[in-house]
Amino acid sequence: MQDEFAQQWKRLEDMLTERFGKKPNMEAILFLIGIQELAHAKTKFTKEQKQDLMHVATCTLLSQSGYYEPEGFDPDGWPHFKEVQPVPKMGMMEQERFLKEHIIAYFDDLEGL
């Protein structure tokens, strides 16, 4: 099971590295997902907007498991979510794996990885 997860994550990293020319870290992946979910043609974001994009990404990812659900969009087109149930408390390693599993599922749905 651990081997399969590691292979799926490696495939995703390889795909993103090929597409963007360098291996992305977790923040970069969340930023990419946030941009995808925002669906604006904007190319420049403030530091606060970048943080908001990572929050949008996290809520989008965790909505796959029912922790959040979309609530709609604000007048500027930014998606908003509401918490449906609290995310379980986890250690750093568990949290990273939990997020990576959701990222793999997101890109699998999007790209068919």
- 3-class DSSP state for residue 93? helix
Q: How many whole angstroms separate alpha carbon 113 and alpha carbon 35?
A: 20
Task: State pLDDT tens for residues 30-89.
Answer: 999 999 999 777 778 999 999 999 999 999 999 999 999 999 999 988 999 999 999 999
Q: How many whole angstroms separate alpha carbon 60 and alpha carbon 70?
A: 8
pTM for this one? 0.89
Residue identified by tokens 């930023």 is 31
Domain ranges of the chain: 2-111
**pLDDT-derived band of residue 104, with 50, 70 and 90 as boundaries?**
very high
